[in-house]
Amino acid sequence: MSSLRVLVGCKRVIDYAVKIRVNAAQTAVETAGVKHSMNPFDEIAVEEAVRLRERATKDSKLPKVDEIIAVSCGPTKAQETLRTALAMGADRAIHVEVDDKVALQPLAVAKLFQAVVQKENPNLVILGKQAIDDDAGQTGQMLAGLLNWPQTTFASEVGVAQDGAMQVSREIDGGLETLSTKVPAVVTTDLRLNEPRYASLPNIMKAKKKPLAKMTPEQLGVDITPRLETLKVIDPPKRQGGKKVESVDELIDKLKNEAGVL
């Protein structure tokens, strides 16, 4: 191994700052007319890929990054998310178009990524540890399983050496855990891995000219039929206002008879 080909995942999700609402039919969260942007953890993934490239240009001992390919599975609008990735520094993009009405579940996405990996032959896949819409946090692990590649999840630091040996730190309860592995591998990003850059105005304009290929699940030979059925989506119960009690006796009485915790 002397150089890296990096594939990064870019999911289009409801923007982090939007107050989300359940739709009228209680089948999902309302997405119509709501601002969307790239999943923040995927922004970190793109940033890390670009930084791997930048570090290698400054240090000849590090493996060169030949190509950064951004991949998104979703509706036509996912192309906007891919343009953001291209503006941040990805070289080209692949859009696997899936109709808005189809519930795309982690296993299906992992299989789509598996098919794209087999087509494009990257030796490093960087994904967000989870997407902030459904918080599944499964795609990276499933993809590693399907590819039979090592996985280093929730990365807070990623280092790749010239021979392809990787050192990945992850935050655990007691401190930091460092994993060693070798490319090809799947990495999922945690929040403190890096702070994503803003795409500059010239790069936003240049991104328009970078190639964006379209594919369908059928072309990739992947069955994306959902395996799970969502029965109902409801708001969390509204928070009730508290009450003041007059005495300790009243408090104990309420804890015993109303709250039932004593």
Partner 1 sequence: MLSRQLLGSARNLTQRVSRHPVLFVTRNFASQNTPLDPTVGLTEEQVELQTMAQDFADNEMAPYMQEWDNKHHLPIDVLRKGAELGFGGLYVREEQGGTGLSRLDTSVIFEALATGCTSTTAYISIHNMCAWIIDQFGNNAQRQKYLSQLIPMDQLASYCLTEPGAGSDASSLTTTAVKKGDQYILNGTKAFISGGGNSDVYIIMARTGGPGPKGISCFIVEKDFPGISFGKQEDKLGWNSQPTASVILEDCEVPASNLVGKEGEGFKIAMKGLDGGRINIASCSLGAAQASLETTIDYVQVRKQFNHTLGEFQNTQFRLAEMATYLNSSRLMVRQAAQLLDGGSSLATSYCAMAKLYATDRCFNITNDCLQLHGGYGYLKDYKIQQFMRDSRVHQILEGTNEIMRVIVSRNLLKA
Of the candidates 59, 195, 218, 246, which one interacts with partner 1 according to CB under 8 A? 195
Among 97-105, 150-158, 159-167, 190-198, the segment contacting partner 1 (CB under 8 A): 190-198
Pick between residue 1 and residue 22 the one whose CB is nearest to partner 1. 22
Q: Does 37 bind partner 1 (CB under 8 A)?
A: yes
Pick between residue 168 and residue 199 the one whose CB is nearest to partner 1. 199
> Contacts with partner 1 in 85-124 (CB under 8 A)?
87
Among 52-60, 160-168, 197-205, 250-258, the segment contacting partner 1 (CB under 8 A): 197-205
Burial 192-231 (b: 16+ CB within 10 A, else e): ebbebeebeeeeeeebeebebeebebeebebebeeeeeee
Nearest to 212 by CA among 84, 28, 22: 84
Q: How far is the CB of 13 from partner 1 (least distance, A)?
A: 9
Cβ atoms < 10 Å from Cβ of 72: 29
> Contacts with partner 1 in 163-182 (CB under 8 A)?
none
Per-residue tokens: 185: 């591998």
User: Backbone dihedral region of 138: left (phi > 0), alpha (psi from -120 to 50 degrees) or beta?
Assistant: alpha
Among 77-85, 141-149, 244-252, 253-261, the segment contacting partner 1 (CB under 8 A): 77-85
Of the candidates 20, 252, 255, 262, which one interacts with partner 1 according to CB under 8 A? 20
**Angle, alpha carbons 103-83-20 (nearest 5°):** 45
* Pairing outcome for strands 151-160 and 185-189: parallel
Q: Does 228 bind partner 1 (CB under 8 A)?
A: no
Question: Collapsing DSSP states into helix, strand and coil, what is residue 219?
Answer: helix
Pick between residue 54 and residue 253 the one whose CB is nearest to partner 1. 54
Of the candidates 6, 112, 199, 220, which one interacts with partner 1 according to CB under 8 A? 199
d(CA 170, CA 159): 12
Pick between residue 52 and residue 222 the one whose CB is nearest to partner 1. 52
Binding site for partner 1 (CB under 8 A): 15-20, 29, 33-35, 37, 40-41, 43-44, 80, 83-84, 87, 130, 132-135, 191, 195-196, 198-202, 204-205, 208
